Structure 1
Amino acid sequence: MDSVEKRTSSRREEAYNQLKQAIIDKSIAPGDMVNERRLAQTLGISRTPVREALQMLEAERWVTVLPWRGVVVRPVTPEEVDEVFQLRLVLEPVVVEMLVGRISRAELYSLDELLRRQARIASPDQGGQFIAIDQEFHLYLAEKSGNARLLSFMTQLRDIHLRLGVETVGNLNRFEATLKEHRAVVDALKEGNAMAAKQAMLYHIVHTHEAISSRVKKTPQNQGDAL
């Protein structure tokens, strides 16, 4: 790859990452139109890497290209929420079951530290950080399972998890419940109780699913502005 190709690739990744983050934190809301030319000017790059970044996001179902109109941010649908949590219900109880008897004291300490960090920011005004640590917690468990394919798959779901998690930012009760549910998982791992660990994770995923589904169904979609 020559220097020109490297610069183009770097700018495409920059545009891709900034757009995705803006969608996750809702700086660009569902239904907003994304103006390719204006975005290129904002980022200080040409339109080509912006166009390529938008094509990548369309392939991942984050945006939709509307012929002769532009690009619109797709809302998260109830069906997509269900699909994501169907996968989590299958994968994550298996993760904690695999960890029982093999997770080290140092790794359990790291989980405790993650929960302490999360507890310190359990407030709606720090919702984005709370959700980021939430994902760090779940990916740490997957990493320590030793199953590289499982970790890779869950990493692919991370961004959509972050986007879904934002739906619960205004719910302080859900923050507190999440901390208790995470603690139950860690306590079961400390006790070496595989059944309790699986049940704690199932409980957590089911209740998170219910909270997010309820919020998504109540949220008006496709009422954004142009960017």
Structure 2
Amino acid sequence: MEPIARRKTTKEIVYDQLKRSILSGELEPNETMTETSLAESLHISRTPVREAVGDLTKEGLLIQIPRKGFKVRRIDEDDMEQILYLRISIEMRSVKMLVDHITDEELEKLDALVDEQKVAIQNNDRIRYIELDQMLHRHLLKLSNQNILEQILQELYNLTRLIGHAAISKEGRMEEVIQEHRDIINALRERDEEKAADLMRHHLLTTASSVKKQREQLKNNNGNSDSIGGL
């Protein structure tokens, strides 16, 4: 017998919709929201909104503003440094662990993800591009069988999605990322542990540098960098 697909609850639907809006940049950090305003805009009661907001707050994507409501979390410079440190440490380890046992089939799957990123550029679909970027990084960690580190990194990926658009805003950066991904995959194909790890470090540092430059540019232009969410 075929299993019966479970219908999503209203709370789960609200959670999914809010999370997509946060991670896509549709909801910005300078926008204050309330349970009432969201419930009215979604034409539902406040209860599922309150539950969804509670979950997103626990995940670190929303922050409570006392007596006002809540906002999308803004990733500041200190947050970025911590995220970068953890990602470099974890992801350099993951590619080192992969070198000795990654298969040709798995390498082809990684190549396919990069090919999809190229299609996303052609379609001018930044959201899909960022999703594929994180799919590739998560897949590398999954293949390395670092289960505990994979769980830790999952929360970091949610936070880095907050700055995803800033990370690729530099002209030509999307194409650079694709080449950096290709280089990492080729180093794995060559079974070169140190090269793969060094390329991963370079990739993450370059992405972080791109975000910082974009923030500085917006700050100089607007006198305020809050319009960027938070690699």
CA contact (8 A) 2:177 2:203 kept: yes
Letter in 1 for 2:31: D
SS at match of 1:121: helix
**Alignment correspondent of 2:139:** 140
In terms of fraction of residues, the more helix-rich structure is 1
Offset of residue 181 of structure 1: 0.8
Gaps of 5+ in 2: 1-5, 219-223
Q: CA deviation at 1:122?
A: 2.5
Distance 2:156 2:216 in 1: 21
Aligned to 1:3: none
Which deviates further from its counterpart, 162-171 or 89-98?
162-171
Which structure would you say has the larger RCO, counting Cα contacts within 8 Å and 6 or more residues apart? 1
Name the SS for the 2:124 alignment partner: helix
- Paired amino acid for 2:11: R
SS in 1 for 2:172: helix
Query: SS where residue 211 of structure 2 aligns?
Result: helix
Q: Is the 8 A contact 2:95 2:140 kept in 1?
A: yes
Structure 1: unaligned runs, 5 residues or longer: 1-5
- Is the CA contact 2:63–2:73 (under 8 Å) kept in the aligned structure 1? yes
**Any runs of at least 4 consecutive aligned residues in structure 1 with deviations exceeding 4 A, and if so which?**
221-224
Q: Distance between the aligned counterparts of 1:19 and 1:169, measured in 2?
A: 23
State the 1:173 CA deviation: 1.7
Aligned position for 2:95: 96
Show the 5 A alignment for 1:1-227.
Answer: 10-122=9-121, 125-219=124-218, 220-222=224-226
Normalising by structure 1, report the TM-score.
Answer: 0.86
**Count, aligned residues:** 218
Q: TM-score, normalised by structure 2?
A: 0.85
Over the residues paired in the alignment, what is the CA RMSD in angstroms? 2.3
Tell which deviates more after alignment, 114-123 or 26-35.
Answer: 114-123
SS in 2 for 1:171: coil
| 2:61–2:158 contact (8 Å) kept in structure 1 | no
SS for the counterpart of 1:72 is strand
1-side partners of 2:86 and 2:123: how far apart? 27
Contact in 1 for aligned 2:34/2:69 (Cα 8 Å): yes
Deviates more, 1:70-79 or 1:173-182: 70-79
Q: Matched residues in 1 for 2:31 and 2:176: separation? A: 32
After superposition, the C-alpha distances for 1:83-136 in whole angstroms (9 at most, x for unaligned) are 111101101011000000200110011111111111222269321111111001
Q: 8 Å contact 2:170–2:214 — kept in the other structure?
A: no
